[in-house]
Every structure is written in C-alpha cells, then in structure tokens.
Structure 1
C-alpha cells in the first residue's frame, strides 16, 4: 500500500495540523480510495516560541522617535485596484465591514446635508427590510445547489471537478455555526448606518461579502488564533453568490454592482491611513501571534536537524506500516526540510519515491544559496526522487523549480482564487490538486 506522509509548514501547531491532516486525508481518499496518509507533525517539538515571554518586544512609545521621525500612521498606504476582486477580498480579510461602512458614507453624501427624511406612517424603512433579509440568510441554497465549477489554468489544463462538492460542503460546515451571528452583525450595521436614508443600489453583493467575511473571521477564533480556513475561491464565490441571490441581487454576474463600483477602493484608502499606528499599538500581541510562522523559519535555519529527523522517522514508520512506496507531501517550510533531507546522501530515506512540495520556498532558497544540504550551482543528486512542485500565482510564498532544476522538477500551477496570505493556506481545500495527484501517486 502506498503511504503519503503529510509534512506541515511554518506556524502550524497541534490543532491546526489535525485540521489540515483531516482535509488532506479526505481529499486523497476521494481520488485514491484506500490510500494511507501518515502524520508528520514536528511543530510542537521543533517549532519556535518566545521562551522569555516576549521580553524582547519594545513597549509602545507615545512620543516620536529619535530625530523627530513622523509616526508611521501618517504614511499613506497603497491604493487598491477597484477592478481586482482579490484586492477587495484582501481588504475584507482585515475588516469585513469596510465596504459596508463606505457604502453608507456614499449614501449619506448623495442625500446631502440636513436631517434624514422621514417615511409615511405604516411604511417600512427600506433599509430595515434589507436588514431583515440579511438576518434570514441561509446556507441551504448552497447545499442544495449544484457542485461548484473550478477555475481553468491548473497545471496548464482545464480544471473540471470530478471530486464532487466535498470542499464546498466542508466550507459550509465550517461557516454554519457562525452564519447567524455574522448576519446579525451586518444587519445591525445596515440598520444603524443606513436607516432613514433613501434607497440605493448595490447593497446586496456588499452585504453578502460582509456576512461571509465575518463568518470566516468568527470561524477562525475571536482573535484569529485558529488556523486560517483553507478555502477555494470557487467555493467562496458560490457561497457569496447564494447570499447575494437571497438578498435579491445579481452577484453571480460580476464581482461588484455598478452602483457600488469604487466603494472598496475608498474603503481601503480610508482604512490604511491609521493602519501602521494601529499595528504598533498592538505590537506585542501581533508579534506573539506571528512567532510560530516567522520564528519556525528562523529556527529551522540554525536548528533544522530535528525537523529532518522527524520526517525521516515518519517515512520509516510509513514504509514499515504500509509495506509499499512512500510519498512526501509537504507544505511551505515542510517542503524546504524535505528537499534538504532528500538532497543529503547520508540522510536520505530510500523509501521515498515521490516528493510533492506545495507552496514551498525551496527553489527560492536554492537560488539564494540558503539550502542546508545543497549549495547553489550544485545539481540535485541522482538519487533524488521525482519532484512535483505546486504553486499558486497569488501565493507570494510559492515558487517554481523547473528553471532552477531543469528536467528534475515538474511545476504545477493551481488557482485557488484567493488573495495572499490565504492563497498560501488554501491549497488543500482545492479539489483540483487531488485530481492532479491521483494518477501520479505510485501504486
């Protein structure tokens, strides 16, 4: 029996690894029933932590720095491209209500000065009717619809989904406990900010995106402490499209209603101005949260032997337990560690027949001459197994290897339709990845 050893990337700890492992096992099981998926969790023992409780983080000073430098909050951020849906989603990742607030400001500006107009007795405020529809949003329209289509362009071939609606069902399951509170929060914001104003077009898609973004935020924990949800962009758009339809809009025909075009760019411009200052205010919490992600990389560079030993042990146990060939499926930093392990003739486990790196920086580190076992200019050893490298163009931490190691690496481009950084964590929610892998796994 073929065994697939799943090696996680940077910043992963026990709870998030188990979530990712279950997703990978289910995805591979759909395309290769009976495949054996084996754990390789190294984050707890070999990952980074602030051993002195964050004593190195400086306190936030209220005064300007030496030399009278201006506060970072006075520096303007880059402008959002209003025609780029991923840029809008990147904004909503940070602030799910940003679009809605800007829509309300635009509605007030169109009304002009003066008090809000009243309505005839017995006539319902149209915005209260919209808020009521938002509170009634349901996921039943998603679960009862057809399975979502996938984007084209994965690995240079059409991406017709044959694995059914499993990834969409997983997303619906993740969102279901949080839909009610998210919809209630958006409905409250609509009533508060828009109540009493004349009707305006375009609210449906904006409200649908806000509800979705809030539900995702809640699913990831009150402080974002949980692992980011792995979400394929096609599944996200299916859910948001269903919400928009329920609200009476036409979200499936285009990303933003024409009347709302430009709302997101104004929202980001108003939001970014205080962003740097806000980040400094909460620097201690932000630093502590980012330590597993960035610290694991730094720690691996000087103490990576423990991670490679954990992978080697997992491969040996997989070979003994399955009695067949072993595949290493490695994400991000896990891919770097696997390349280092397999490139070292003294450490390489001979049972590995295929290496699959996903969103990995191994080719980039080779070009920097920063790999542990292979210097820049040296070829991959002849004993190095077949290597498939998967990347998404939106993933700024995913790199290509065919030009770095000609004839030794095969690059596959997938399209999760997510902005960075979620593009880096959504590979294993993308059904097309498993369909591409199915015929490549040794029998």
Structure 2
C-alpha cells in the first residue's frame, strides 16, 4: 500500500467510524429531552427511567465521539499538511466555533447527568435540550468546513496564493445549507431507526415490554420525521450538486454522454471502458427533472470533462444507489407503520412489525455512510474542488501505512468497547428504572 492510498484509507476509516459516533451522540439528546419532557408533564416513572437510561448512552457516545473527533483533527494536520497550510486560515472559523459548541455540550451534559433533584426541574430539562442543540451546532459547523471543500469561497486565488480571505463567506458557502440540512435529516432518520430497532427487538423477547414499548414509540416518531424529510433534503442537495459539481452528478448516475431529457438509472454496473451501464433500469427524462425541474433539461455527461478529473465512477454510482435503496426502504417502512397506526392498530403489537424495525436498525447508517462516500469520493481528485488535488496535499512523510494500521486498531477497539458498554446499558438500565419490574421497587426500598 503506497502512502497516498494509506492516507486516504486512514481518513476514510476514521470518518466512517466518527460519523456514526457523532450522529448518534448528536441526536440521542433530543430523544432523551423528549422523554424527560414527557415525564415532567405526566409524572410517569417510565419516562423518567427512559430519560436516565438514554442519558447514560449519551454520555458514553459523547466520550467516544470526543476521542474519534480529536483523532480526526490530528489526522488532518499529519496526513494533509499542504491542505491545512492553505485551507486552515480560510475555513478555521467553523472549527473554532465547533470547539466552543463542544465545550457548551460538555458542560450541559455534566449539569444534566448530575442535576437530578439538585436543579429546578425545567432548568434541568433545558440542560438536556442544550446538549442536543450544541451537539447539532457542532455537526453543522463541521459540515460547513466540509462543504467549503466542495464549494470553496471566501478568497481570491491568484498564482497559487490566497488573498482577500473572508472567513464568514467561506463558512457560509453555497454547499453549506444543502449539505448541513441533508446531514441533520439523515442523522435523525438513522438514529431514530437504530434506537427503534433495538427496542423493537427487546420487545419481541418480552423483556421489560412497558419500558421498551415507550422507548420504541418515541424513537419511531423521530425516525419517521427523518425518513419522510430525507427525500426533500436529498432533492435540495442534488440540485445544489447539479449547479456546483456537474461532474459529481454525472458520476453518481454513471451518465457518460451529455443529453437533454436524461434518463435516471436505477441499479446497474458501470463499465467505464465502454462507457455504458449494464443491467440498469432507465427511467426516461427523470434525471433531467430531478436535477433541474425540467424533463427536457440538458445534463452534462462525464465525457464533457477531461478524464483526469473524473471521480471514481463505479464507487460513486454504487454508493449513490445504496443510499437511495435504503432511503426508500425506510420511507416504505414508515408508510407501513403509519397505516398500522391509523387503520390497523392491532398490527402495532404484532411481532412481524417489530421484527421489521429490528431488521431495519442499520438501514439509516448504511445510507448515511453511502451518502458520505458519494460526497467525498465524488469530489475526487480534488481535496479543494477545482483548486488543490488530493495527491498534492498528502504528507511526504513515509510509512503512512503503519499509521493506518495503528489507527484502525484503535477505532476497532473503540467500537468493541462502545458496543459492550451500550449493550450492558440496554440489558441492565431498564430493570433499574422500569416501575413494572420487581427490581425497581427493590432498588427504591
């Protein structure tokens, strides 16, 4: 493995893990705060127990996300020094603000965890809300930095030098809102389905059913909002890509020839050599409509651009199709649940419906990982789109493959520890906080 591939692999692996830790840690506080609000309104002890159970998970994920995020910040400097040398002064502001949001999140989480029966009950609840809001702000600010890499703004680039730097314009670049909005919606969808699926599985095992049923219903609400909003946010993001990065759109669809009334390809295997897509299903004119709102609009193909700036077409296309496939599955599951809720209430207690949600637990994060693959791989060969190539930004330091192996071991270890801790919480905490379980009354006495 050469150093360039090792550096890219290390960043891909680190981002792939961190995005899961950070998104769950970013959205779980809102589920926690909602359960807490329900407890304050109803006095139902199950909601209190659920709030405490989820708060422990939030604490574990916050610590894990902090570690993985810190590692990523070091990797940017160590693996891509040329990139940070030029880009740091331009897009440093969102990273600085993200650090502030991180500190607020840490303080608010500490207040929430240790504030039971010590603070005013509504101030205590607000601390939980603040954990979610500051975590969400952190995610948006980090996405703003990534969006700048896709849509560099806020400077003049003359003869290889950067002048007239405007950090506000850089942060609020054209890609910022579409990417951030789509990311937030995807995080709500993925986390909602994961949490709902775990609790659905435990309901089928007849373990603390009152507790897990309450948790399942809250999580499903968040999951469905995310699932039904994802097509809207995805449409906004796709139209933005069409305008800013038409070559990425062409790679997403493996669209080789410029044409009007371009077809949308479902599935298929791109053959770059013959510039065809085998076994794909073409929906006439749909790509033109989705991209530009006009069935006869012209869509630029890959052949419109020099081959040396083509993204990896096969990876980008497959990732895009995977994202769409699992996104559609979650929408269909959401429709099924709403149909059951309004027209077949007895279905809500059927094991087959719960097993569908249990099976769908990873769907959101598969789609999320695929979407980020589209964003990052589809930008190649650029690290700063249209300005700096990724190969020119990599460190000249040799032996990067050993760093890749070392960091991979760290992330795998973190994942194993995280799964162990979360699973232990899932098994033990409900018994401590579910008033329908005998252990709850033993603990109180």
User: Greater RCO between the two (CA within 8 Å, min separation 6)?
Assistant: 1
Query: Which is helix-richer, 1 or 2?
Result: 2
TM-score, normalised to structure 1, is 0.30
TM-score normalised according to structure 2 size = 0.30
Which structure has the larger Rg over C-alpha atoms? Answer: 1
